[in-house]
């Protein structure tokens, strides 16, 4: 029996967590030069669905290995897509609802009552001029980062500076 959590609406919602970053990554369509046209039409949506439904890095790593085994080294855009989904998995326990990451500004939006220590957020903002509070539920990072990989790394670093999320609250 399918869980309510596995509905297409939830998959779309989970994918929305990385909306701004996926713009550059989604430019990667599994290209004809990367795999033949028949495989592309059959496998492209399957790859995206598997990535969107991956719950942990092991699942993403297995999919990455499968792609490399079948088709060779991923193009830059493909690797970015993998990195973005790793970030989605990392961000979920912190109560992140959405990440908008444009080259000049990154917004990290949290769900109500995220499972992180509010003092850690305040310390992060006080120690880093380029990070600001944007309302009660957002962090605004003002830093010129033209490359998607640099934006992914910036979000990773910010989340890690917030410490470990509270496990009991992280599952909600």
Percentage of the residues of the chain whose pLDDT score is greater than 90: 52
Residue 68 is predicted with a pLDDT of 87
Query: Strand, helix or coil at 134?
Result: coil
Q: CA quadruple 118, 122, 128, 130: dihedral positive or negative?
A: positive
Q: Read off the pLDDT of residues 8-57 as tens digits, 9 standing for 90 and up.
A: 444 444 444 454 444 444 444 444 344 444 345 556 678 888 888 999 99
Query: Strand, helix or coil at 91?
Result: helix
Confidence of residue 166 (pLDDT cuts 50, 70, 90): confident
Q: Read off the pLDDT of residues 88-115 as tens digits, 9 standing for 90 and up.
A: 999 999 999 999 999 999 999 999 999 9
Element (H, E) at 131: strand 131-133
Mean pLDDT for all residues in the chain: 79
Whole-number Cα distances in Å, 162 to 29, 60, 124, 145, 166: 34, 24, 7, 21, 11
Torsion angle (degrees, nearest 10) of CA 127, 132, 133, 135: 170
Confidence of residue 75 (pLDDT cuts 50, 70, 90): confident
Residues 108, 141 contacting (CB under 8 angstroms)? yes
Residue 42 is predicted with a pLDDT of 53
**Bridge partner residues of 133 (DSSP):** 139
Which residues lie closer than 8 Å to 6 by C-beta, 6 or more apart?
53
Residue 40 is predicted with a pLDDT of 53
Sort 122 into a burial class: Cβ within 10 Å, 0-12 / 13-18 / 19+: exposed
Q: Read off the pLDDT of residues 115-128 as tens digits, 9 standing for 90 and up.
A: 999 999 999 999 99
Percentage of the residues of the chain whose pLDDT score is greater than 70: 71
Give 38 or 154, the one with higher predicted confidence.
Answer: 154
Torsion angle (degrees, nearest 10) of CA 32, 35, 38, 41: -70
């Amino acid at each position: 029996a399918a869980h309510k959590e596995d509905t297409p609406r939830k998959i779309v919602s989970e994918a929305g967590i990385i909306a701004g970053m996926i713009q550059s990554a989604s430019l990667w369509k599994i290209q004809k030069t990367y795999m033949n046209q028949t495989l592309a039409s059959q496998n492209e949506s399957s790859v995206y669905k598997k990535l969107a439904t991956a719950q942990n890095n092991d699942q993403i790593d297995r999919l990455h290995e499968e792609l490399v085994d079948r088709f060779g080294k991923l193009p830059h855009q493909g690797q970015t897509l993998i990195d973005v989904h790793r970030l989605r998995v990392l961000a979920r326990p912190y109560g992140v609802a959405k990440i908008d990451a444009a080259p000049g500004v990154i917004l990290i939006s949290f769900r109500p009552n995220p499972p992180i220590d509010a003092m850690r957020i305040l310390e992060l903002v006080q120690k880093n001029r380029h990070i600001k509070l944007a309302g009660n539920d957002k962090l605004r990072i003002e830093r010129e980062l033209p490359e998607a990989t640099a934006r992914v790394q910036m979000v990773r670093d910010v989340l890690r500076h917030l410490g470990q999320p509270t496990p009991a609250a992280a599952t909600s």
